Amino acid sequence: MDDNPATGQCLCGAVKFRISGEFESFFLCHCARCRKDSGSAHSANLFSSTARITWVSGEENIKTFRLSGSRHVKSFCSDCGSALPVSQPEVGLLVVPAGSLDSRIDIRANAHICCSSRANWDNGLAFIERIDGLPG
């Protein structure tokens, strides 16, 4: 049993969860599907074949979208739209959006993947100005 499970929730707080177990990988995916899901340059997902999720509250608020003809799946809160973990027991995988966790993530991202699909504006971002708060 994991003595220090990871915890997370959606933006509105309706859905809360706990993850027991270790993450095996952490990928930043630049494919067009993940860019659409995240509304950003890439998705940031943690993967585990052994960790287990417990829904603490709001399980009835979870909606799941499966893209027809693909393995692409996304779960989200039906109230605020926040990305939520997806358990895929048919392939033995738990996929957890990194941003949905409130706990510290102790695994470093393994790789940027699907870089051939990368958005044309997603270059040189490490070199733009960094601001600690909102601009202005």
- Taking only the tens place, the pLDDT of each residue in 23-33 is 999 999 999 99
pTM: 0.91
Q: Measured between alpha carbons, how far is residue 29 from residues 43, 45, 71, 82 in Å?
A: 5, 8, 14, 18
Domain assignment present for residue 129? The answer is no
Q: Does 135 reside within a domain?
A: no
CATH assignment of the domain containing 90: 2.170.150.70
Domain extent at residue 38: 6-117
Residue 1 has pLDDT above 60, yes or no: no
Q: What six digits make up the tokens of 121? A: 């504006």
Answer yes or no: is 107 within a domain: yes
Tens digits of per-residue pLDDT, 67-102?
999 889 999 999 999 999 999 888 899 999 999 999
